[in-house]
A and B are shown apart, each in its own frame.
Chain A
Amino acid sequence: MTNTLTIGRKARERSTTASVPRHRTRSARPPWQEPPTTVGQAAKGLTLGGMLAVVLVPLWIIVVTSFSTPGAINRAGGLVVWPDGLTTEAYREMLGDPTVSTSLLVSLAITGVGTAVSMVVSVLCAYGLSRPRSLGHRFVLVLLIITMFVSGGLIPTFLVVTGLGGYDQWWALILPGCVSVFNILILRSFYSETSAELIDAARMDGAGDWRILWSVVLPTSRAVTAVIALFYAVGYWNSFFNVMLYMPTDSQKWPLQYVLLTYVNRGVGLPGSINAGFGNTHAQTAPLSLQMAVVVLTLVPLLIVYPFVQKHFRTGVLTGAIKG
């Protein structure tokens, strides 16, 4: 992420001398470019098509299998590629299962609370550091940047968190990693670019810094705020190692990723829940479809949010950084 930042700066410098990368809406070939060769086009199509297939085909197979009837899975001998018999049985089973449904709630709560905490802390800090020549901002900036190069590492951090009483506590899953200096620096570089005229005008009207942040800076940098919020949210949603460190014993407190790891990846049965479920009483549900349903469940929130934020990648992180 810093890379995007640094490169943004570089590209900006470059573009001020060149002043070219406006909207590249040209979808027609520029007149000076030679027509493509058939071989070249075919190779390009195959490579890009292959790249799409490598990402999309596994996801397709997993989704189809999660919706497949036991019969379809039997006929396919495992994973189902072409829809054969479809059912939502696996999903009903999964959401009725105490371990999975609890873990879904846990994951949603950690992601929601964690993202909120991270965003409040980061946005405040980024704005606090973004005003030129404010007292002490250089010192704080250096304090932040040092952490990007030196860190105590795994064990000292573990000892600090457990020393502060974090073992088996919810906050241990959120606070230790809730500040990302990368993200603060990205936000800061955008906030610094908020037009000085706008801010001066607000100040003339009697707005303090809190008011300026809330009513001027935040509304003018929605795209980058959304992208950073997504980065944080994805980080919380995907985290499992801190659970392994700080909350390994009580399966009722596990988030979804840890359930996925334990149950699907390692194939371990969860105490008194899924395993007992389809091992004995619900033998008619195919375990594979249930496993794939858990995989899909970890994907769903991402796929819901992605299209909305993804258009901001372009306007936010990428073009925002380039256009300067």
Chain B
Amino acid sequence: MNNFPSNLKYTKDHEWALIEGNIVTVGVTDHAQGSLGDIVYAELPKVGRELKHGDTFGVVESIKAVSDLYSPVTGRVTEINNALVNEPGMVNKDPYGKAWMMKVELTDPSSLGHLMDSAAYTKYVASLH
């Protein structure tokens, strides 16, 4: 069963965003990790990179496929999770915890308007089946 915590916001591309003031922590959802399967590689952006909502910020790869990651918000990358690069399988084990991918400092708070809450995302995921 999918797990979509209510304290997070979500994108249609299956990223989650934890909003704490003007800092947004980003990762991929439980649904994403389940569909992708065993993650064997993660590529994250450089600290300092300016991202617009919808920009590709990195890549995760399962054994079979390559998937782009899309920034849920507009902002500047302030921190990335280097531990994840060393242990990409964490995406499958702990998608909302140890597998956070980057922290972004919002430069355009209106970009938060694109995000769904847990209930809307749950409905959206159900509609995909």
- Our verdict on whether A and B bind, yes or no, reads no
Q: Chain A interface (Cβ within 8 Å of chain B)?
A: none
